[in-house]
Amino acid sequence: MDLAAPARKKRKLAQAFTAAKDKNTKAIVRRNATSSPLLRLPPELQQKIWGYVLGNRLIHIGAQGVRRNYGYRSLQPRFFNTICQSPVTEREAYELSKSAEYNKAATSFKNGEDMRLCGNRHRACELELVDHSTEQNLPPNRLNVGVLAVCRQVYVEVNPILWSTNTWSFQCQRTWRYWMSGRNAVQKRLIKKIHFSNEVAFGLNNKATILALKLEELNIDIYTWRQYSFMSLHQFLQTEKVTVIAADAWTTANGKQANNITSFEEKLAIAEACQSHLATLQAELARKKQEKESAKLLIGEKSPEVSGSNDGRESEN
């Protein structure tokens, strides 16, 4: 009776779903590449065009069906987006936040108002997200990604631009968690820029998500009264650059507009303290990673010695 284990069948290497798998599809891909005026352009020029169409923006993500309280919804939320209306980038807003001249709270949303630095510079976008969180229609000022469905080559070339050049912004913890749970490994690897508003920064307790993302830029807005909660964080996303802007809450608990209760110097000190805390977390994460790599190298160096000594014993016997 043969008790030998059956031979393992060789697994076929699966092609990425973006790769052409049959002759007809491959023929279509070749025809598109040679006949399309757009796809015949030099790759560098195509990259610039696609960047103007789908990249280099701040995209606020909202969801229909996600509750902010402890209520439960069994249905998977429907995500939507709106393109940021702020006249400055997050990096520019951060530089302006260090200037007392521009450190002022918004009092209204009248035309011509300077919203460059205000901690509420995203307020108009947040209100739009709230307006559409319970409606079936989508925001008019949204990023339309329908071009990705035009053909396989467009998808392959444009998908990295969409995920890596845009800054993805979140105002709700649950929206962030649901949205991230729907991202595949490729998308997580491509995401490079994130913006968090206030409460989202305190809900990063998923270790898998923390390890999956390796950001180039992380921008955070926090309320001044959340400073101590922020300083108690013991883990955070991996990022090369981080900016923190501290501001007073837009409204008080009774819904009335809040006055500017924190001075410019205090806001700046809070932002710098939070940013320093994140830098400490990043350094600690890098140290642990280095220790693991060193341990692996040490084990690898010891292995040949152990195997060599075993070989010697066998030869003596």
55-82 pLDDT, tens digit each: 999 999 988 875 554 555 546 788 889 9
φ, ψ dihedrals at 91, nearest 5° = -65, -40
Residue 48 has pLDDT above 90, yes or no: yes
- What is the average per-residue pLDDT within 302-309? 56
pLDDT at 140 over 80: no
Burial of 164 (0-12, 13-18, 19+ CB in 10 A): middle
Report residue 121 as tokens: 């510079």
Instruction: With beta carbons less than 8 A apart as the criterion, state whether 258 and 251 touch.
Output: yes
Average pLDDT rounded to a whole number, residues 141-164? 88
266 close to 242: Cβ distance less than 8 angstroms: no
Going by pLDDT thresholds of 50, 70 and 90, the confidence category of residue 34 is confident
Single-letter amino acid code for the residue at 178: Y
Alpha helix (H) ranges present in the chain?
23-35, 43-54, 90-97, 123-132, 152-165, 173-181, 185-190, 207-212, 227-231, 264-316
Residue 15: C-alpha distances to residues 82, 142, 190 (Å): 34, 33, 19
pLDDT of residue 1 exceeding 50 = no
Decide if 311 is inside a domain.
no
pTM of the model: 0.77
* pLDDT(8) > 60: no
Name residues whose C-beta falls within 8 Å of residue 227's C-beta, 6 or more positions apart in sequence: 246, 270, 273, 274
Identify which has the larger pLDDT, 248 or 206.
Answer: 248
| Token reading at 45 | 């020029």
Higher pLDDT, 66 or 54: 54
pLDDT classification of 218: cutoffs 50, 70, 90: very high
* Residues 301, 306, 312: CA angle, nearest 5 degrees: 135
Q: What's the pLDDT at 135? A: 61
- Domain for residue 28, yes or no? no
pLDDT at 257: 52
Query: Of all residues in the chain, what percent carry a pLDDT higher than 70?
Result: 72
Residue 306 φ/ψ, nearest 5 degrees? -65, -45
DSSP helix/strand/coil, 41: coil
From the CB of residue 30, how many other CB atoms can be counted at a distance below 10 Å?
Answer: 12
Q: Scanning the structure block, which residue is given the tokens 């631009």?
A: 161
201, 220 contact by CB (below 8 A): yes
The predicted pLDDT at position 162 comes to 95
* Dist CA 166 CA 250 (whole Å): 27
**Half-sphere CA count of 34, side-chain side, radius 13 A:** 6
The count of structural domains within the chain is 1
Higher pLDDT, 27 or 6: 27
With contact defined as beta carbons under 8 Å apart, do 47 and 161 qualify?
A: yes
Q: Please report whether residue 246 resides in a domain.
A: yes
- Provide the domain limits for residue 99: 58-302
- Residue 150 scores a pLDDT above 90: no
The overall average pLDDT reported for the chain is 77
Per-residue tokens: 26? 């491959």
